[in-house]
């Protein structure tokens, strides 16, 4: 019997190799199929021009959309705005052609993540996929405790100017911070897509099933609608938990019953 995440991966793989090609060689030019460096939380293969930068804010309201224990209803809490948020700040910089480094600081556990990404291939008539290698290390308590490392690859299929689909196998070492004697690492598969509905409007979705190792509770999933305006991308998203770093994605969500509203705002400086 084939499990649901496997079926999804196979379906997306079929789309990857059936879609028309889309090539882009100027890193500074707008790629309408892939306008941002992330989906909701997962990285994309979008290249950052050398010596250029970008900034992103991630914001997740901590009140679930459905909350039987909350004193006020969702509208009275203004969709969760009155109840605080898990916020992340991110800065990325292109250090060499095809290579970028990312600093991300998340409120959860005061986590700092340092990530590097290097483009291995562009999509072309002879190469059906874009590929980028990813390596990251993160630590809690402002990078002073509980370190976790990530190694993986981002596989992207550009669907002409209509969007993109992604498969992202990732190995996360020390994903289990509980020291309970169980599995200490996670192999997960990021699966996501961005589809262009209008010239500057997109829908985005991603899931991160854990294939092996430490995989408590349920996988983290998100979907969103976003608007591109010049160098900005404004995204309204909904997720079943607050994770934004690789370890937090590997840890998943406590359950699949609670969903949270949030947003991302990104800005390119080129």
Return the pLDDT at 75: 73
Integer Cα distance of 211 and 175 in angstroms: 13
Return the pLDDT at 66: 83
Tell me the backbone φ, ψ of residue 80, rounded to 5 degrees. 105, -5
Tell me the backbone φ, ψ of residue 226, rounded to 5 degrees. -140, 160
Q: What is the CATH number of the domain that holds 149?
A: 2.40.160.40
Model pTM score: 0.88
At 163-177, the pLDDT tens digits run 999 999 999 999 999
Integer Cα distance of 222 and 261 in angstroms: 10
Q: 230 is in which domain, residue-wise?
A: 4-269
Return the pLDDT at 7: 52
Return the pLDDT at 158: 97
Return the pLDDT at 96: 97
Return the pLDDT at 139: 98
- The SS3 assignment for 236 reads strand
Return the pLDDT at 12: 47
Instruction: Point out which residues pair with 134 in neighbouring strands.
Output: 117, 152
Return the pLDDT at 3: 54
Cα radius of gyration (the chain): 18
Identify whether the C-beta of residue 136 lies closer than 8 Å to the C-beta of residue 170.
no
Residue 172's closest CA among 190, 155, 184?
184
Residues of the chain with pLDDT under 70: 1-24, 79-80
138 burial level (CB within 10 Å; 0-12, 13-18, 19+): buried
Return the pLDDT at 110: 97
Q: Which residues contact 36 (CB under 8 A, 6 or more apart)?
A: 44, 46, 194, 226, 233, 235, 266
Provide the CB-side half-sphere exposure for 15 (13 A, CA): 23
Integer Cα distance of 190 and 230 in angstroms: 28
Instruction: Point out which residues pair with 261 in neighbouring strands.
Output: 238
Provide the CB-side half-sphere exposure for 232 (13 A, CA): 7
Name the domain count of the chain.
Answer: 1
């Amino acid at each position: 019997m084939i499990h649901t995440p496997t079926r999804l991966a196979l379906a997306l793989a079929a789309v990857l190799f059936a879609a028309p090609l889309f090539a882009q060689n100027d890193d500074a030019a707008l790629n309408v199929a892939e306008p941002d460096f992330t989906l909701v939380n997962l990285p994309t293969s979008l290249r950052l021009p050398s010596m250029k930068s970008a900034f992103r804010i991630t914001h997740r309201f901590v009140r679930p959309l459905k909350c039987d224990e909350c004193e006020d209803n969702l509208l009275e809490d203004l969709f969760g705005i009155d109840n605080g948020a898990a916020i992340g700040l991110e800065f990325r910089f292109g250090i060499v052609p095809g290579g970028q480094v990312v600093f991300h600081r998340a409120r959860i556990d005061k986590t700092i993540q340092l990530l590097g990404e290097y483009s291995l291939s562009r999509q072309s008539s002879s190469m059906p996929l874009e590929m980028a290698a990813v390596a990251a290390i993160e630590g809690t308590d402002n990078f002073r405790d509980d370190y976790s490392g990530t190694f993986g690859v981002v596989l992207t299929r550009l669907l002409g100017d209509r969007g993109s689909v992604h498969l992202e196998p990732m190995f996360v070492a020390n994903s289990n911070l509980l020291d309970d004697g169980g599995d200490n690492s996670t192999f997960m598969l990021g699966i996501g897509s961005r589809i262009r509905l209008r010239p500057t409007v997109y829908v985005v979705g991603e899931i991160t099933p854990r294939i092996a190792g430490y995989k408590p509770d349920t996988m983290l999933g998100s979907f969103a609608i976003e608007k591109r305006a010049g160098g900005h991308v404004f995204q309204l998203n909904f997720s079943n938990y607050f994770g934004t770093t690789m370890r937090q994605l590997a840890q998943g969500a406590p359950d699949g019953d609670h969903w949270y509203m949030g947003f991302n705002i990104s800005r390119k400086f080129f």
